[in-house]
Amino acid sequence: MTDHYPDTPGSKGTDGTSQDAADAIAPIACHLRLMALLALSHLGEATALEVVAATGLTRESIQPRLSELRGMGLVEATGARRRNPSGKSAAVLRLADKGRPSI
């Protein structure tokens, strides 16, 4: 992963494809994080796939942004789990206090 993760998209592996993907998404990563935050704010609590469905964007673009938001302390796991359509158990997420808008 890059030294600037979670503020910039990270990568894994040594063949360069992961870094290429991180570099390609970097210009819109902030916008995608905002979309994920807004969806999670609207939903209250949701799994990553539920946030994906709410945004209408791809899993590949939203799920890593949720990981980045967790790394930034803006999103947290509730401790609950729910089944995804695949039947696998997924963590339920919510906005952390730091991720809530202050009005």
Q: Pick the more confident residue, 56 or 86.
A: 56
pLDDT at 9: 84
CATH number, domain 17-99, options 3.40.50.1820, 1.10.1660.10, 1.10.10.10, 1.10.40.50: 1.10.10.10
Q: What is the pLDDT of residues 22-77, one digit of tens each?
A: 888 889 999 999 999 999 999 999 999 999 999 999 999 999 999 999 999 999 99
Instruction: Tell me how many degrees the CA angle 7-11-16 measures, rounded to the nearest 5.
Output: 135
Which of the two residues, 32 and 15, has the higher pLDDT score?
32
| Six token digits for residue 51 | 């946030």
Q: What is the pTM of this model?
A: 0.86
pLDDT of 22 reads: 85
Instruction: Please give the Cα distance from 99 to 6 (Å, whole number).
Output: 15
